Every structure is written in C-alpha cells, then in structure tokens.
Structure 1
C-alpha cells in the first residue's frame, strides 16, 4: 500500500526565508494605487528583517528612468540592491544570494508585472512564495486581484504581513516575540488604514 503524498502547506521558517522588496521606487509614487500602504507594509517588513535577521533582497526597475527606492525605506541592510531591466527579480545576481533559502516573502509593485513574474520564476524553481496582499499594488487597482489569483493558481500563497511574521516565529517563546509584537502594535494604525485589504469593494 503506497503512502499518501505529503501536502505542501507552505510552512515558513526563519532560517530559510528571504524578503523580496520589488521596485518600490520614488517615481511610481503619484501613480500607484495606495502607494503609502505599500510603503507602510514595506517599512514593517524591513524592520522585521532587522529584528529576525532575515535576508532582504531589493531591486529597482530601470532606476535611471524610475528613480531609486522610496527614501523612507531604509534598505541599507539589504543583502543586495540591484538595478534591473528584466521584470522578474530573479536575475542571476539575485539567485546567487538564495543559497539555503526555501521561502520568499514578496511585496512591492506592480502586482501584475514584476511581482507576478518574480513569483512565477521562483515557483518554477521550487521556492515557496508568499505574496503580501497588504504590500502589493499597481497603477490600475483592478490588476491586483487577477495577479494574486494567478499566483495562487500557480502554487503560491497569499498572506498578510502580520500573519507571515507570526508564522515565522511560530511560538510565543521565540526570542524575538516581544520585539515583533511591539512592531505589530506600533504599526497597528497603518495596518488598519491599509485599503489594499479591501480593494474588491472600491
């Protein structure tokens, strides 16, 4: 009698996870739906990367035309900050930084272009991909939901920043639990006002 196949439920672990910050650039600011919400979620995840010592991977799409990463995002601790012309973040220079990484937490813009193509490339190479619904957007907000559905259909996971952080810790006895709890509390107002959660009702 053969054993049933193991189900992949997308468990995420601190030591085998990387955060991907996708193209949150200054010149997108006036054009992206709920850009402040994208930035607020990115700030939370950057703070968490510092607390949990999780690698942060940053890219900038054609920065000569689109500018650098939004200045309120402190990416000084990023493992790599790479300019690119390819839509996907998974360029060779980034892939070299993923030794020992199983799971990627992905946030940024645009959901239906660079975020989607990054997710598909990662999934094709058997990484678990967790996309933050409160941290991705596009110029046209109607593009967001189809992109997230496409990622789910391909085998990715759609989650929230707060949920992911507590999944990574897994236990209230985690040595960084108090610091992450404080971070969640300090960002409560921004989380509550994040309209990316309710884009289908707009």
Structure 2
C-alpha cells in the first residue's frame, strides 16, 4: 500500500548529514545522536543499503567525527543547507534513484529540514530518525520535527527503522541486526516532543 511509510531494503538510501567535530560541544545530545547514527550506518552496511555522507564547510567545521564509523565513505562537501548538491544527486542517480530516504544528522531546523523539503519536492519518501537528529537548541529540534511531520515526513527511531528493514526474525541478517539492538538506544530527550502531540 502506497503512502504508509513501510521501509524496505530495496530502493532505500541512508543520508548522514554533517556530524562534524566543531558541532560536538554545541549540539544537544551530540554523543547519543551520533551513537544512534552509527548503528544505522552499521545496519545499512550489513543490509547492503547504500549510504551518502555530507560535511558542511569542513574547512571551518572540521571533519566527520570518528565515532560515526564512516571510514570508507567519501564525504560530499557543501555550503548549502540541503544535502541535495549536484554531487549527491549524481550519487543517487548512480544508485538507481532510490525512492526511500533514511535521514539523520544535524541540524534539524537547518540541513535536515532543507534536505527533507528537497527530497519531498522530488516525490521521495523521507524517514527521519528522530533519535539520530538534533540541533543546538532542543526547542529548534522539536519544532523542526513537528514542522517536518506536517510536511509529510515519517518520523521513527533507530530501533524502529532497523526492525522495519529486516521485518522478520527469519531474515538472513537478523542476528547481526539484533546484536546492534542488544542495548536500547540512548535517550536523546524526545519525550517532550511526544507529550506535545
């Protein structure tokens, strides 16, 4: 059924947005957000879901943090808030134009929002992993998630995404994914968002 947001390993791509060194001291729950994004990246590698990594003005904001585990991914550098640069669009085309996007990173009200709007305008299905997205301000983060939800983005959690991708304990990669879920995802302060719905 179209439009319900059921994730699939076929036709999906993981977008990892701007998790860089200079953001470390200023982003709300940075360590936990990156930890969740790292799990998503590991899972996508196991499930052969392609990944795209961006860095916002790395000369000033530094490289991607090592704990993301993004070695081997060549970052697309950008100055625009949207990840949808020419080089990213070219990469998506070479991946067969995936129609489902799993989006995580920072900041929710800036690069995540602008990327999501660009993707939605292209008719793509956008899944934002709420516990793998943040901002400097929790207020900006929560309002951005609320606004994006109004625009048609699907919100989910790291664990929710991983379980939807495998869908069955008989999946050949389930045990590997299960290991990534051995410990619950760290709290990233989202309860305030859901209490306001």
> TM (normalized to structure 1)?
0.89
Q: Is 1:194 aligned to residue 187 of structure 2?
A: yes
**2:188 and 2:77 mapped to 1: Cα distance?**
29
8 Å contact 1:25–1:68 — kept in the other structure? yes
Gaps of 5+ in 2: none
Out of 12, 26, 30, which is 1:35 matched to? 30
2:33 touches 2:188 (CA, 8 Å); kept in 1? no
1:142 maps to: 139
Residue 7 of structure 1 deviates from its aligned partner by 4.9
Q: Structure 1 residue runs of 4+, over 3 Å off?
A: none
Whole-angstrom distance in 1 between the partners of 2:49 and 2:177? 13
**Larger-Rg structure:** 1
> In the aligned structure 2, how far is the partner of 1:198 from the partner of 1:173?
32
- Matched residue, 1:114: 111
2:62 aligns to what?
67
Distance 1:196 1:159 in 2: 14
**Distance change (3 Å), C-alpha of 1:163 and 1:44:** same
Q: Equivalent residue of 1:195, what SS?
A: coil
1:104–1:127 Cα contact (<8 Å) kept? yes
Give CA deviations for 1:103-157 in whole Å, capped at 9, x if unaligned: 0111110000000000010011011000011011101110011111111111110
Contact 2:35-2:67 at 8 Å conserved across structures? no
Separation of aligned partners in 2, 1:180 and 1:65: 36
Residue 81 of structure 1: aligned partner: 75
Q: Distance in 2 between matches of 1:165 and 1:48?
A: 7
Query: Structure 1 residue 162: deviation in Å?
Result: 0.6
1:159 corresponds to: 156
Cα distance change of structure 1 residues 14 and 32 upon mapping to structure 2, 3 Å threshold: same
Corresponding residue of 1:183: 180
Shift of 1:77: 3.6
Offset at 1:199?
4.4
| Residues 1:174 and 2:165 are matched in the alignment | no
